[in-house]
């Protein structure tokens, strides 16, 4: 397996390839179907191509919240016996490629066959379609996968997460939704209440609905049970910006500056403004009891 992470002009492949390409944000069941289809064609090498940063970041000229960062996608791609993982740098030059120029790029990297979905678009303003590809390559078009009579898509998963429905998101991802981030310093209010939390810099990840979740957190290669709060801390220490704080059960180590991974297992309750610090502590104790029960059922 070779990982090619470069400007499109510098991408060179010497073998014929069967390719599937797209943003693959989340690498959900629909994406997985495309990748798995690659291996039905043993006459070529097998490649997947994605883009970084997400095209919306360049086209809309502001950060775009994603389910997966580049490193996440590469890790997920590595679960398949691919010959090439291509990460094409998406910039203004790449975004302005005409349909003909994009086709020439695909020919240059030795594309023989393409696996695409019915809504596949490429080139400037998405003007390229499946019909354009079929003029130059063998093209296999896969039908959409449906869930609850709705096409599986990254947007659909974001809708579930925005509603706190991490269980349906899990079903469409075939894994728990995870966020990776650095542990940063907070003001230690949680510690004063007996619930010391790790404050997480969640960078450009899409954040689920505000509230309290049963989560698991990966630290130094080991998973720990935890409960996570997303929101603005309305009872104590209100924050204008959204915060993601994790209370790790049975853990008492310093992890400032470390990268951790949070997996969202279950939505417990909404974030509520309590009448007092004492009332909040009572609720946090109930939350911890619920997490411990859920962790035994997992």
CATH number at residue 44: 3.40.50.620
Alpha helices in 78-153 (DSSP H): 92-95, 99-108, 130-134
Q: How far apart are CA 70 and CA 252, in angstroms?
A: 31
Residues 114 and 14 both lie in one domain: yes
Residues 35 and 120 both lie in one domain: yes
Q: What is the predicted pLDDT for the residue at 193?
A: 67
Residues 139 and 206 both lie in one domain: no
pTM exceeds 0.85: yes
pLDDT tens per residue across span 275-293: 888 999 899 999 999 999 9
- pLDDT < 70 stretches in the chain: 187-193
Residues 139 and 8 both lie in one domain: yes
Q: What is the predicted pLDDT for the residue at 211?
A: 97
Residues 113 and 251 both lie in one domain: no
Q: What is the predicted pLDDT for the residue at 189?
A: 62
Q: How far apart are CA 14 and CA 260, in angstroms?
A: 38
In a domain, 159, yes or no: no
In a domain, 158, yes or no: no
Q: What is the predicted pLDDT for the residue at 191?
A: 61
Residues 291 and 204 both lie in one domain: yes
The residue among 118, 112, 106 whose CA lies nearest residue 153 is 118
Residues 141 and 191 both lie in one domain: no
Count: domains in the chain:
2
pLDDT tens per residue across span 121-136: 999 999 999 999 999 9
Domain that holds residue 217: 176-297
Residues 123 and 20 both lie in one domain: yes
Q: How far apart are CA 59 and CA 23, in angstroms?
A: 14
Residues 90 and 199 both lie in one domain: no
In a domain, 167, yes or no: no
In a domain, 160, yes or no: no
């Amino acid at each position: 397996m070779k990982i090619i992470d470069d400007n499109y002009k510098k991408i060179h492949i010497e073998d014929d390839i069967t390719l599937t390409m797209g943003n693959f944000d989340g690498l959900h069941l629909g994406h997985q179907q495309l990748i798995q289809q690659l291996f039905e064609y043993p006459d070529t090498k097998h490649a997947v191509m994605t883009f970084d940063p997400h095209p919306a970041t360049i086209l809309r000229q502001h950060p775009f919240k994603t389910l997966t960062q580049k490193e996440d996608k590469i890790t997920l791609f590595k679960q398949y016996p691919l010959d090439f993982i291509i990460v094409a740098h998406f910039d203004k030059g790449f975004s302005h490629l005409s349909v003909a120029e994009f086709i020439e790029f695909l020919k240059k990297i030795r594309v023989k066959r393409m696996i695409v979905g019915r809504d596949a678009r490429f080139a400037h303003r998405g003007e390229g379609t499946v019909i354009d590809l079929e003029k130059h390559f063998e093209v296999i078009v896969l039908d959409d996968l449906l869930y609850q009579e709705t096409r599986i898509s990254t947007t659909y998963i974001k809708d579930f997460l925005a509603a706190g429905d991490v269980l349906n998101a899990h079903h469409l991802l075939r894994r728990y939704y995870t966020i990776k981030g650095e542990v940063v310093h907070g003001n230690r209010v949680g510690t004063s209440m007996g619930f010391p939390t790790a404050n997480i810099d969640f960078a450009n990840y899409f954040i689920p609905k505000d509230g309290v979740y049963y989560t698991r957190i990966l630290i130094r290669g080991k998973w720990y049970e935890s409960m996570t709060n997303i929101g603005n801390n309305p009872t104590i220490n209100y924050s204008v910006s959204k915060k993601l704080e994790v209370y790790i059960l049975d853990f008492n180590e310093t992890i400032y500056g470390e990268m951790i991974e949070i997996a969202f297992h279950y939505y417990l309750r909404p974030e509520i403004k309590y009448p007092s610090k004492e009332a909040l502590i009572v609720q946090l104790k109930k939350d911890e009891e619920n997490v411990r029960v859920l962790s035994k059922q997992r």
